Amino acid sequence: MTPIFRTSRSACRNVAAALAVSLILFFASGCMVSRPVSPRPDGWAKAVSVKGVPNLHKVTDNLYRSAQPTGEGFHNLAKMGIRTVINLSANSLDRKLVKGTGLSLVEIPVPDIRPTSPQVVRLIKIITDKTRCPVLIHCRYGADRTGAMIAACRVVVEGWSKEEAIKEMTGGGYGYHVIWTNLISFVRNLDVIELRAATAPAQASPATEY
């Protein structure tokens, strides 16, 4: 066998091996979504069916979570009373889609699936501002970035334990991907006292009597 044929056959084997690995990773990715907890606790976010808004859930009366809405979805969200949309994705797709809806758009991009405390502070200040509620928080899938931010809100605003919030984040049926273990660490490492201090409403200065 000539060197050319040997090289060609070797190259084919390498390509085949690479394809096999890619296929394994592709099919395995479908198994990397955590399973929903059953029975589902009453206090967890509840699924809501709205056309054009996949993976939509009602967290509280003033807070919703979802995957990326379509243009029609944003119009439907406005009709149901949503006032503010917080986009955690790195893209600016929402800017065009919300036009003409009357919705207020806030972009807090978390491009590497690694949220930060300053981002939590900014988000909590928005969702606790009654003039901006109800609020929808979304990312591409409404699973990981959105889940971590909702967990932070559960802990800092609602007083949930970190483990309770993590359990909802990972087992709530929102599509949490188990590869993002950093999000569990993120919730566990939240400095709750510091975050509550940073998001507390500003105290009005006392009046001076003359």
Residue 151 sits in a domain of what CATH number? 3.90.190.10
34 assigned to some structural domain: no
210 assigned to some structural domain: no
Under 8 Å CB-to-CB from 117, ≥6 apart: which residues? 190, 191, 194, 195
Mean pLDDT of the chain: 87
Between strands 46-47 and 135-138, the pairing is unpaired
118 assigned to some structural domain: yes
CA distances to 24, 113, 194 from 108, rounded to whole Å, are 34, 12, 20
Question: Is the pLDDT at 138 greater than 50, yes or no?
Answer: yes
What is the structure's pLDDT at 206?
Answer: 47
Task: Report pLDDT digits (tens) over 94-118.
Answer: 999 999 999 999 999 998 899 999 9
| Cβ atoms of residues 170 and 176 within 8 Å | yes
Q: What is the largest CA-CA distance in the chain?
A: 105
Task: Report pLDDT digits (tens) over 189-204.
Answer: 999 999 999 999 865 4
Task: Report pLDDT digits (tens) over 42-58.
Answer: 999 999 999 999 999 99
138 assigned to some structural domain: yes
Which pLDDT band holds residue 121 (cuts at 50, 70, 90)?
A: very high
CA distances to 135, 202, 205 from 208, rounded to whole Å, are 37, 18, 9
41 assigned to some structural domain: no
125 assigned to some structural domain: yes
Task: Report pLDDT digits (tens) over 8-42.
Answer: 555 556 555 554 444 434 444 444 887 887 889 99
208 assigned to some structural domain: no
Only one residue has tokens 């296929």, namely: 23
Residue type, 198: A
Count of domains forming the chain: 1
Task: Report pLDDT digits (tens) over 166-175.
Answer: 999 999 999 9
3 assigned to some structural domain: no
Host domain of residue 173? 46-199
What is the structure's pLDDT at 20?
Answer: 46
- Within the chain, how many helices (H) and strands (E) appear? 8, 6
- At 90, give phi and psi (nearest 5°): -80, -10
